[in-house]
Structure 1
Amino acid sequence: MIRAENLTKRYGDTTVVQDLSFTVRPGTVTGFLGPNGAGKSTTLRMILGLDAPTRGHATVDGRPYAGHSAPLTKVGALLEARSLHPGRSAYHHLMALAHTHGIPHTRVDRVLALTGLTHVARKRVKGFSLGMGQRLGIAAALLGDPATVVLDEPVNGLDPEGVLWIRTLLKSLAAEGRTVLVSSHLMSEMALTADHLIVIGKGRLLADTTVDELVRASGGASVKVVTPEADRLRHLLPDARFTTEAPDTLLVTGLEASEIGRAAAAHAIPLHELTPQAASLEQAFMDLTRDSVEYQGAPA
């Protein structure tokens, strides 16, 4: 279990993380989300003892990370996949880590196989692609068979097969009762992978909830309506909000499909399609963090 209590980090006059408290529980995949500059990386570094909080504290299984006698066997982490010696092979990189904790070479072989790197284990990592580097970083995180896994943007550089692999891996780790905290900017992937979400913006907690609850609370569900009399139907639904996808296609928000259907039937408006559209995690995230975005582009 990871517990953050009133975490605050200041650099001079700039507050990067402000009074941040949350708990990451075992048995679930917890997504850690936020716009660029939200303080996610700083928070992860404080959890892992790489940055000292200005105030507050973070613990893993009741202790600060540095308080564990063999931290690699308690917490496996991937923050920067390319932080390794380019002249070493994947095998020797992992063996160097294993020697620091008395981890047997059989475990090195195991994580190389688990991450699909056995066939390149003796190659120097300077020749690795971004995706292969990510796999090696994940192998290092899992080397100590830890009960807690912290991964920062683990799908960067992975091809579709690799993305599916990491999704399956994270779910299986959680199913084994491990604590899994993963940050990502890919909302579609988080929607498929995470059970719980912690969302921050400008260093503050915005949401600590499940994926379903966040999407439902956003109120972003809509109804796709296809009709040759779209303009006429629009005037009959003054309480709804509309997005026009095509001259005959509307996305209607604020009304149920049944209400739209009844209004259309009452005025003999033909409907070629009337389909409820589920709200997306991406839209819910955008709505929640709209006021916390550091850089916002102007409309095209």
Structure 2
Amino acid sequence: MIRAHALTKRYGGGRRRPRTAVDHLSFEVHPGTVTGFLGPNGAGKSTTMRMLLGLDTPTSGRCTVGGRAYATHSAPLTEVGALLEARSLHPGRSAYQNLMALAHTHGIPRSRVEHVLGVTGLTDVAGRRVKGFSLGMGQRLGIAAALLGDPATLVLDEPVNGLDPEGVLWIRTLLKAQAAEGRTVLISSHLMSEMAVTAHHLIIIGRGRLLADTTVEQFVRESGTGSVKVVSPEATRLAELLAGPGVTVESAAPGTLDVRGADAEHIGRTAAAHAVPLYELTPHTASLEQAFMDLTHHAVEYGTPGATPREAATAREGAAA
């Protein structure tokens, strides 16, 4: 299990303007599930992960992995597998040599090195120097290093970065399998579509503070960004009947309404009560990306000028397509 309690990290001071990267952040990551760690750029995700792994010292607060601070583990590779920067391995050594160098520090047998090379699909290129690896191959090698000690906890920053579609499916299946075996799995990613089908639980931060700690299903359900498509020959009249606090009605085309803040049952009952014919009444569940954008738009450090959260999410979805 991973625990963070009142974790705070400040930079600067003296002549430099102080900056708080992480601000009294508390959360728990439980074994047996894949937990997504989300936040806009500059939210403090990487800083938090670095503190979890003992690479940065908290200004205040504390964090533990498996009940202990990372630095106190006598054999950390067998306790925590981490991927923060895939290119941190020696470029002049082969994939096999890099993994064997790590294995020697913990007395890990050669058979385990060969095993993780096979798991990550690198057996055929194990003898090649890392400097010649593509981004995706380097990412696979970083994941192999994280798996080397067969750890109880995995902390992975952007694990699908540089992977092709087959590789993305592979890492998704791998992470779910690791969690199913009872391991604690914490991953960060900017790909909301992938996080929606990989993670079960979410920890979302913005400007270093906790914004949400919930399941993916509950977060999307309670986001309030879902809509109902309504088609009626009396759409204008129905829009007037539905108008009220918390209800937004937009017309995408003549006779068609996009209603937010009212569910299909309420819309149907209102239409029936006033004898308004309906040709279509279709609920649309919000995507994880839409819910995320609505929650974090106020915490974005570098946003698109003039874009609403919904417009930004639509633009991102269009670019991904």
How far apart in 1 are the matches of 2:107 and 2:305? 54
* Cα distance change of structure 1 residues 225 and 83 upon mapping to structure 2, 3 Å threshold: same
How far apart in 2 are the matches of 1:45 and 1:264? 55
* Cα distance change of structure 1 residues 243 and 168 upon mapping to structure 2, 3 Å threshold: farther
From 304, 308, 315, the counterpart of 1:297: 304
Q: Does 1:208 align with 2:180?
A: no
Asked if the contact 2:93/2:130 (under 8 Å) is kept, the reply is: yes
Q: Secondary structure at the match of 2:87?
A: coil
How far apart in 2 are the matches of 1:115 and 1:104? 17
Instruction: Show the counterpart of 2:93.
Output: 88
Deviation at 1:248, TM superposition (A): 4.3
Q: One-letter code of the match for 1:174?
A: A
* Cα distance change of structure 1 residues 161 and 247 upon mapping to structure 2, 3 Å threshold: farther
* Cα distance change of structure 1 residues 225 and 73 upon mapping to structure 2, 3 Å threshold: same
* Cα distance change of structure 1 residues 254 and 126 upon mapping to structure 2, 3 Å threshold: same
Instruction: Show the counterpart of 1:98.
Output: 103
Q: One-letter code of the match for 2:126?
A: A
Q: One-letter code of the match for 1:18?
A: D
Instruction: Show the counterpart of 2:11.
Output: 11
Q: Does 1:75 align with 2:80?
A: yes
Instruction: Show the counterpart of 2:243.
Output: 238
Structure-1-length-normalised TM-score: 0.94
Stretches of structure 1 that go unaligned for 5 or more consecutive residues are none
How far apart in 2 are the matches of 1:237 and 1:157? 47
Q: One-letter code of the match for 1:140?
A: A
Q: One-letter code of the match for 2:7?
A: L
Asked if the contact 2:243/2:249 (under 8 Å) is kept, the reply is: no
Q: CA RMSD in A?
A: 1.7
Equivalence map 1:189-268=2 (5 Å): 189-239=194-244, 240-265=247-272
Q: Does 1:122 align with 2:127?
A: yes
Instruction: Show the counterpart of 1:37.
Output: 42
Q: Does 1:2 align with 2:6?
A: no
Deviation at 1:271, TM superposition (A): 3.5
Question: In the TM superposition, what whole-angstrom CA distance separates every residue of 1:11-53 from its partner, at most 9, and x where no partner exists?
Answer: 1111111111111111111111111101000000000000011
Sequence identity percentage: 75
Structure-2-length-normalised TM-score: 0.88
